[in-house]
Amino acid sequence: MAAEDRLYDDAALARFYDLDNGWTADRDFCLGLANGCRSVLDLGGGTGALTLRIAREAGASLVGVDPAGAMLDLARARPGAGKLRWVQADARGWRR
């Protein structure tokens, strides 16, 4: 993990990241991949926009994993986020 990256701890910077990274075609592609899946692991799920939309539209059981605590705080605050599992870790540190 890049502990020196302010995005990991700075709530204002995480909010700006969320505003600056809206819905794009690559997220549509990922949403399409999730259709029909019963469970999805979103590694690097950030602020949870894609993670929650997959849960809502694909009906999949989801786990959102991200190393940035500030981003996960935003994800956990979104409507419907309480139904998902959110884990602060990177791909190397995440355990089921």
CB 66 within 8 A of CB 72: yes
pLDDT in tens, 35-50: 888 899 999 989 999 9
Residue 1 CB neighbour total at 10 angstroms: 12
Q: What is the pTM of this model?
A: 0.82
pLDDT tens-digit series, residues 60-90: 889 999 999 999 999 999 999 999 999 999 8
What is the residue extent of each domain of the chain? 6-88
* Model pLDDT for residues 6-24, shown as the tens digit of each residue: 767 888 888 888 888 888 8
Contact 13, 70 (CB under 8 A): yes
**Cα–Cα separations (whole angstroms), residue 91 to 33, 58, 87:** 20, 23, 11
**CATH number of the domain located at residue range(s) 6-88 in this protein:** 3.40.50.150
Per-residue confidence band for 1, with pLDDT thresholds at 50, 70 and 90 = very low
Instruction: Using alpha carbons, list the distances in angstroms from residue 51 to 4, 8, 19.
Output: 26, 18, 16
